[in-house]
Each structure stands twice: as structure tokens, then as C-alpha cells.
A and B are shown apart, each in its own frame.
Chain A
Amino acid sequence: MSTALIIEQLLNGLQFGVMLFLMAAGLTLIFGVMGLINLAHGSFYMIGAFACAAVAAATGSFWIGLAASLAAAAAAGTLVEVAVIRRLYDRDHLDQVLATFALILIFSEATRWLFGSFPLYLDIPPVLAGAVALPGGAHYQLYRLAIIGIGVLVAVGLYYLISRTRLGMRIRAGESDREMIAALGVDIGTLYTMVFALGAALAGLAGALVGALQSVQVGMGEPVLILAFVVIVIGGIGSIKGALVGAVLVGLTDTLGRFLLPKLFTVFLGPADGATTGAALASMLIYIVMALILAFRPKGLFPATA
């Protein structure tokens, strides 16, 4: 095992982590800050990817596709908030679970209806193709570096929005007591629609950016949903910093686990059995880490309020 490989894997872990953060960013807003259980987050992610793929194919430009993904996801978000979520604020939290579960079914099938059953083509934009050389013989893809950059930007932007602006304070106030913040003269309804749409747009952005690396297909959002929840919960609900740290932790754990555990078990069990046993453990690893963290820090790494 060369040092270059280890460095590269560490970078991969970091990159995967930031990518996870990007995927979780919208959910951080909707779930973490606004306190809405939104299972349809993955649907916004999927909508973003499909919008980007379809528009990029039609126009030949990834960037127009990216803009379309933001617009489409934001529109879907607005629709969902106004038509569904808004009616559920004064209900049991569990009603949100059922409603957004139903939305997953609707969005998935509607997407298949519109775009057909086959995965779509979406590639990274040519300007970001290729790799940059890093010291130590490793090189790293430009596009993935760009994702890291955007992820960090989104993190900083969200942090600023939530913690430093009056808008952020009002959102958080709305999470704990909607009625009271309204009684103080804040139009929390419209505010929540906007923020929900922003969260959806972020999910759509992630869908488009990550979609270029993956398969743009119906159902692509479901694994993302679970991972995004994991990341936010590990970090501590409501904390942007926590979500970022949680994401990187998950990214590193997963990548290094996949890389090292099979090697470790191969030593004891031989190549085939070692590889499968190691891989089995690796696939459970992030959940093991999550369970451990929550067992010792029941409110995540960075509890938003004490």
C-alpha cells in the first residue's frame, strides 16, 4: 500500500463526505432547521438530476441544465409546501411522514411517466473534465474538487443564513413556536414556503451535480435520503457545522472502511472470504458509527441547543 494511495483514499473520503453534505444540505434546512420530517427530500434530488439531464441534453449545456435543476426543484418544493406541508404544521409530526412517503411514490412515478423507464445521460461539463496533479504523485479530478468547493460554499452560506441573519432567527423561532412568531408579526407561512423551496432547490442542485457522477434514474433519491438523515443526525439536528462534520466523518469512515476492512480480513480469512467479510462489515460501518455516536452523545456531535 503506497502512501499515494492512502492520501488519495483520504481525499476520496473527504470528497465523499463533502458530497454527502451537499446531498444533505437541503435536508439540513428543511429537517434540521425547520423541523419538518421530509421523506420526499430524495425526490427533489431526483427532480434536480432529471431536469439537469433533460435540459442539458436538449441545449447541450450542462450549466443551463444546472439552472433548470434549481428552478425545477424549487418549483416542486413550493408546490409541495403550499399544497401539502402547510396543512400539516399543526398536526402530529407523524402525519408529515405519511404525507411525504406518499409524495415519494407520486414523484417517482410521475418522473417515470415523463422521462420513461430508462436511466438518462448526464455527464460532467467539459471544462471540469480532467484531473489536477497533487503532491506525492496523486491526482485528483477537477470535477470532484469543484464539488468539494461548492459543498463548502453551501455550508458557509447556510451557516451564515441560519445563524447570522434575522431570517435565520425567524425560521428557528418558527420551528419552536409558529403561533408565537406569527403573533409577533412575522409572516411565517410565506417565509416557510420560501425556505422550503430553497431547501428543495439545494437538493435539486445536489442531484444535478452528483447526478453527473452517477446514474440518473428513478429511485436515485432513496439511498441519498437515508444517508442525508444519517449525516444530519450524527452532526446534531439544526447545526450546519455538525452536518458538515458529520458528513465528512461518514465519508471518511465509509471510504476507509471499504478500503481497509477487506484488506484486514484477508489476512485472517484469505482473499475471497476476507473480501466478503470485510465488505459486509464495511457496509454496516456507517451505521455502527452512528449508533456509537448517538449512544454516547444522544443529541449528536454538535447539539444545536444545549
Chain B
Amino acid sequence: MSRERAINLLLAALLLAMPLAALALGELFYITLATRMAILALAAVGLNFALGLGGLVSFGHAAFFGIGGYVAGILSSHAFNQTPMFSWPFEFFGSDQMPTLWLAAMLISALVALPIGAISLRTAGVYFIMITLAFAQMIYYFAISWPAYGGEDGLSIVVRNSFPGVNTAVPLTFFLVSYVLLLAALALFALVRDSRFGAALQAGRQNETRLAAVGIAPFRIRLAAFTISAAITGLAGALLADLNRFVSPSMLSWQMSGELIVLIILGGTGRLFGPVAGAMLFVLFEFVLGGLTERWQFFLGLILLGVVLFARGGLIGVLAGKARHG
């Protein structure tokens, strides 16, 4: 077993152990904290399909995160209030079933990602960063000023949506649901990374000309990756909405996009568990420092700076050493 794999297992175990320990100690909040870590990690794993594998630095992934959240929020608010969302061609009253919401969140995020990706992928490098930002900003400003679902004030979800057979209102249950989804996404990531598709995607990141010259058109590969990536981030958005029982445009903001990128870099760019390590670390810092001092952002900044300067390749980079290239 490689060192990196051992660290990955350890991280997965730690994340699982945290809420269990919390439960044993009666510290319920740490379950919520762990859930948040898992969900942010999931969002970042989503982004990692595009960024880590494809080198597509999307500075607009908050759009999908937020769309996922809003899909969950909107569908469940209609279900809760028993008001139809639309009545043609059939009456649709939304849903408060998590599987339905997840599916819808992933589907709609993917559907939005498709045209955005198709246009954005005409550009490359920093231009890609900025054009994805542009699309996210459009959606953000739309959400802020669109009154139907609360605008900038956001939309609350009155009761947590349900999952057949379990009680999601129990914090641990909801954590487990999120955790399992995170593991599933990680497994998918690992599979895709090592597959033919993943090989093409990664080759495109390293050298687009080379990829095309062997007969694989980079555009379609990337568009597919971007869409998958958006769908997973959208799924995370739906979960976060349920955790917070609230969605608002701040989930769509550029700061959120930036934060997702930061999570990946913090954990280790291009690593399977990079987003997980990053999310765990970031949420932990935010939580611990926030409780210690009012100037927590200053110290958070210092710590992050320390990580970039002294931990080459992020947290996993430091622990596991140089990445091995297949």
C-alpha cells in the first residue's frame, strides 16, 4: 500500500470517527461539523474532476453548488407548502424526497453546465477561469434580484427532506448519508482517473496538442468532465441546503467558487483525497479559530499562507510526498 493510500484511508476513517466520538461524548455539534466537512469535500471532489484531472480551473463552480442548493430548496418548499411549481403539462408539487432532489440537483446542474461548458471551453487558461466566473456572476445577480424565492434573503427549508427508510433529522443519519455519497464520489473519481476517459482528460491538461494529434478531440472529453463535475458539485449543494436548511445567493458567489478552489489546493492539487483533506482542514480552522479570537481571519490567513509556503503540494503533498505519475 502506498503512503498516499494509507493517508487517504486515515482521512476517511478520521472523518467517520469524528461524529461517532461526538455522539459518544454527547457533543452533537461535532456531527454537524463533520457533515459540513463531508459536504464541502463532496463539492470540491466535484470540482476536482474538472480542475484536478482536466486542469480546467473553473472559477464558477459556486454556480452549480448554488443551483443544487436551490433545486433542493425550491422543490421542497413547494412540497412543504403544497403549492404547484408548474401546472402544465402536469401539476408538479415539488418533492421532499432526497433521492428525487439529488437527482434533480445533479440533472439541472449538468444541464446548466452543458451550455456554459460548451462556450467556456472555447477558451483556455486564465480566460477559462474568467469566463466561468462571468457565468457564475450572471446567475448570482439573477438570484439576488429574483424575488420569487427570496432573492438575496435566501430561502429556508422548514423541515429537512427525507430519505426512504431512515430519519434524516437525526444528525448522525444525515452525516452518514453525506459520508456515503462522498465515498461514492471518491470511488467514481478514482475509477474515472484511471480509465481511458481519465487518461485522455489528464493528457489534455498536460498537452492539448498532443491529445488532438493522437486523434482524441479534447473538447468533448472536457465538456463531459465539466458536466460530470458540475453534477457532483450540484449534488453537494443539495446536501448543504438540507444541512443548513437554507439556501441563499451567497452559495453562488465568487467567494464560494474561490473557496472550493482553495479547498483543493489546500489538500493537494491532483490528489484523490485532496478535497477531503482540504475541506476537513479548512472547516476545522474556521471553527477552532472562530471560537478563539475575533481576529480569526487574520490567523486563518497566516495558517493558509504557511501551508502554501512550507507544504509543497498541499496537505497530502506533505504527508505523502511527490505524486507518482502512472
B135, A102: Cβ atoms closer than 8 Å = no
Q: Give every chain B residue within 8 A of A106 (Cβ-Cβ).
A: 298, 301-302, 305
Asked if B308 and A98 sit within 8 Å, CB to CB, the answer is yes
B29 within 8 A of A: no
CB-based contact A294/B57 at 8 Å: no
- Alpha-carbon distance A284/B127, docked complex (angstroms): 18
Given known pairs A88-B308, A233-B126, A290-B134, the reply for A103 and B265 (CB within 8 Å) is no
CB <8 Å contact, B309 and A84: yes
B20 within 8 A of A: no
Bound Cα distance from A291 to B116, whole angstroms: 10
Q: Which of B134, B142, B308 contacts A230 (CB 8 A)?
A: B134
- Residue numbers in A under 8 Å from B135 (CB-CB): 287, 291
Q: Which residues of B contact A287 (CB under 8 A)?
A: 133-135, 137-138, 141
Interface centre among A37, A230, A287 (most CB of B within 10 A): A287
* Smallest Cβ-Cβ distance to B137: which chain A residue: A287
Smallest CB-CB separation from A279: which chain B residue?
B145
Interface of B, secondary structure class, is helix
Main DSSP-derived SS at the A contact region: helix
**Chain A, range 131-147, C-beta contacts under 8 Å to B:** none
- Chain A window 93-124, contacts with chain B (Cβ cutoff 8 Å), 1 for yes, 0 for no: 01101110111111011100100000000000
CB-CB under 8 A from A177, the residues of chain B are: none
Q: How many residues of A contact B (CB 8 A)?
A: 41
Say whether B199 faces chain A, with CB atoms less than 8 Å apart.
Answer: no
Interchain CA distance A74-B217 in the complex, whole Å: 46
Check if B12 is an interface residue, CB within 8 A of chain A.
no
- Which residues of A are interface residues toward B (Cβ below 8 A)? 37, 39, 84, 87-88, 91-92, 94-95, 97-99, 101-106, 108-110, 113, 226, 229-230, 233, 237, 276, 279-280, 283-284, 287-288, 290-291, 294-295, 298-300
Write the nearest CB–CB distance from B302 to chain A, whole angstroms: 6
Q: Give the distance in Å from the alpha carbon of A104 to the alpha carbon of B297 in the complex.
A: 9
The distance in angstroms between the C-alpha atoms of A31 and B145, with both chains bound, is 32
Give the CA-CA distance A230 to B132 in the complex, in Å.
11
Q: Does B181 interact with chain A (Cβ within 8 Å)?
A: no
Select which of B145, B254, B262, B300 is within 8 A of A98 by beta carbon: B262
Check if B325 is an interface residue, CB within 8 A of chain A. Answer: no
Instruction: Determine whether the beta carbon of A294 is less than 8 Å from that of B297.
Output: no
Q: Is there an interface contact between B312 and A91, defined as CB atoms closer than 8 Å?
A: yes
A98-B307, A298-B123 as given contacts; A290 in contact with B254, CB under 8 Å = no
Known: A102-B305, A104-B301. A113 touches B127 (CB 8 A): no
CB distance from A76 to the nearest CB of B (A): 14
Q: Is the CB of A280 within 8 A of B142?
A: yes
Q: Which residues of B contact A110 (CB under 8 A)?
A: 298
Bound Cα distance A101, B305 (Å): 9
CB distance from B275 to the nearest CB of A (A): 13
A103 CA to B309 CA in the complex, in Å? Answer: 12
What is the minimal beta-carbon distance from B139 to any residue of chain A, in angstroms?
9
Complex CA gap A104/B259 in Å reads 13
> In whole Å, how far is A225's beta carbon from the nearest beta carbon of chain B?
9
B258 contacts partner chain A, Cβ-Cβ < 8 Å: yes
C-alpha spacing A300/B124, complex, angstroms = 11
